[in-house]
Amino acid sequence: MRTLVAIPVYNEERYVCSVIRRVVEHGHDVLVIDDGSTDSTARRLECMPVRVVRHATNLGYGRSLRDAFDDAIARRYDWIVTMDCDEQHEPDAIPLFVEAAREDTHDVISGSRYLVPAPEDDAPPRDRRAINAEITREINRRLGGVFREAGGEEITDSFCGFKAMRVESLRRLRLTESGYAFPMQFWVQAAAARLRVRELAVRLIYNDPSRTFGGQLDDSAVRLAHYRRVLHCELERCADRLPPAALCGVEAGCA
């Protein structure tokens, strides 16, 4: 089973070397997508035994993942594991995702920080947890039945970027979202394509609660409204492949 580990990075000079060293120990091919870093991240990657795709400017988290998917498809990998580079995803969990992939029962193995209760001290910023919980509830209300009928399960963590995905299944998706709302589009298209989804418990780690999204998205109300609009727009686009219940009360007004 040929597996690619893909890691989006943006200004991660603090963590990139330590994370990459731990990732390569697991023996998989590693692709780093440097999303236009302006610090020393690019220079530090030069001495790492990984392939690097570098964006000349910052194009967004979703665009980095799309580039990783395209690379995995073009190079004919069987599975792709995606993870972040800020030490909030533990490289030592990679074998757990690979083992779950080898079971060959699902198409998406999605990490969840909420399958197992975490100590209160490890809790994420309150607004982030609240938005995750609200969006996750809406996704399950609209698409949970589709996930179950496809042979998968509902989700408990809609924003976790630690995942293993069957590359052949990614060919069935037409992803266009470039920003932080990428998971909204991904989950809708995964349901429309009847991908089999399961979750895998991962540790909840928040090293830097002060990290920002940038611009207006730092306002939690604006961020939630943006996520819901992307979600609803994608529901409209995939309406012909989803049950009517998934579209009930959709508010989008997409062009």
CA–CA separation, 88 vs 213, rounded Å? 16
What is the DSSP secondary structure assignment for residue 84, as one 8-state letter?
A: -
pLDDT along the chain (255 residues), means of 10: 97 92 95 97 94 96 98 98 86 96 97 79 72 96 97 96 97 96 98 98 72 71 93 96 94 70
Residue 199 lies in a domain: yes
CA–CA separation, 43 vs 47, rounded Å? 8
Q: Given this model, what pLDDT does residue 234 score?
A: 97
Residue 144 lies in a domain: yes
Number of domains in the chain: 1
The pTM of the full predicted model, rounded to 2 decimals, is: 0.93
Q: Quick one: tokens of 10?
A: 């943006």
Half-sphere exposure of 100 (CA within 13 A, CB side): 23
Residue 254 lies in a domain: no
What is the DSSP secondary structure assignment for residue 240, as one 8-state letter?
A: G
Q: Given this model, what pLDDT does residue 204 score?
A: 77
Residue 128 lies in a domain: yes
Q: Given this model, what pLDDT does residue 118 score?
A: 64
How many C-beta neighbours within 10 Å does residue 118 have? 15
Q: Given this model, what pLDDT does residue 94 score?
A: 96
**Which of 234, 158, 233 lies closest to 199 in space, CA to CA?**
158
Specify the CATH number for the domain of residue 124: 3.90.550.10
Q: State which residues form the domain around 113.
A: 3-247
CA–CA separation, 189 vs 231, rounded Å? 10
Residue 253 lies in a domain: no
Determine the distance from the C-alpha atom of residue 40 to the mean position of all C-alpha atoms in its chain, rounded to a whole number: 25
CA–CA separation, 103 vs 243, rounded Å? 29
Q: Please, are residues 72 and 66 in contact by the beta-carbon 8 Å criterion?
A: no
CA–CA separation, 161 vs 158, rounded Å? 9
Residue 75 lies in a domain: yes
